[in-house]
Amino acid sequence: MKNLLKNIQLEKKIATMESKNIIVTHSNSFHADEIVATALLMNYFFKNKELYFLQEEEVQKFDFDEDKKENLVYFIRTRDDLLLEKAKKDKGVFLLDVGGDYNEAQLNFDHHQRAFSKTWSDGTPFSTAGLIFEYLKNNQLIKMKNGVLEKFTQWIKSIDKHDNGIEASNFSLFISAYNRVGKYNTSLQQFKKAYSFSDNVISNVIHEYTAENDIGEQIKEAWLNTRDKSSEEYGNKTAILRVSNSFHNCSRMLKEISSGEADYIAIPGAGNRYTIKSVPLDDNPFSIKNPLPEQWRGREKILLETPEGRKIKLLFVHKSGYMCSLEGKRDDVVLFTKGLVDSRYLTWEDKSFLKHKLKPNL
């Protein structure tokens, strides 16, 4: 109910802000900043509307004041001076990355003019991406949890840095590669592809930052259980999560949370499956603090046995030794990870069912 009321209030706020559902930017070569600015507007200002890209012949006939379909946002790429001047003077038109003017009241968001001097608090000059992001945030149209907002802000700032020649952004470089003009790839067609990709990236980046924010609390709880004398995991150096989570940076986060003390993280999956990963050894996310025994690497269906005769099944061990998939219960995970530290806990046989039961060479 609260979310519904928030959405209604948001729609009312947007309705009071003057806009004719028109976005104008420059034609020819494009860059990440105006594409990301457009994607932000579509996600947070023109929510639930469709972006309609005007072809060159449609641009020449386009009338800003003519009635248009409510569900569409009309997108124009042009270098026509008369059209750009008209857009600059029209308070209902978003003018991005062109026009030589920065004026939020007029919805003009260019940063190339000599008079422009707006910077982030650390001195980084704004590009159009940052200007639109700030405009939406200041008008309370972008709302995220604090941790998520901080990380997304840094991502936007990286685009501003690239556009202003301060520091290269891999994302911006990738977008620039879409600038291909040929018989079957016109500039507008390539812009559409770059826009679609950017829109997906923004969605994925926000999802990842949100997941990282949420899973951090789970990892803290799991690690505290290994420090709690009343917990079944006490004394172990493996954080066992209680909720399934596919977030790929879990092991890195555990390293930070445990100040490097933890050895492994165990993540529940479908059925009775657990994915067990070593934490990184250092700041390189691909480093491995505690690789699984060399004899197991690259194997499937390994049967483990404790001194008491308890069976534990390893379904798969990655050939690098950084992770494995285990079938069993939570206490099997505890026994298994203890056995990785002390080989007296485990003997093993592979899927060929040879009975030699070699100890892990740890």
- Helices 32-40 & 128-138 angle (0-180, nearest 10): 20
Q: In whole numbers, what is the pLDDT of the chain averaged over residues?
A: 86
Average pLDDT over residues 110-114: 97
Task: Answer with the residue of higher pLDDT: 304 or 114.
Answer: 114
In terms of residue numbers, what domain contains 342?
A: 228-349
Residues 177 and 324 in one domain: no
pLDDT of residue 305: 79
Residues 35 and 111 in one domain: yes
**Please, what's the largest Cα pairwise distance for the chain?**
85
User: Structurally, how many domains does the chain consist of?
Assistant: 2
Residues 52 and 188 in one domain: yes
Residues 184 and 253 in one domain: no
Say what the alpha-carbon torsion angle 148, 153, 159, 160 is, to the nearest 10 degrees. 180
**Which residues, listed in sequence order, are joined to residue 249 by a DSSP beta bridge?**
none
- Helices 32-40 & 146-163 angle (0-180, nearest 10): 150
Residues 42 and 186 in one domain: yes
pLDDT of residue 60: 86
Residues 88 and 154 in one domain: yes
DSSP state of 163: H
pLDDT band at 18 (very low <50, low <70, confident <90, very high): low
pLDDT of residue 202: 97
Q: 155 Cβ partners below 8 Å, 6+ apart?
A: 205
- Token representation of residue 23: 């976005």
Residues 193 and 160 in one domain: yes
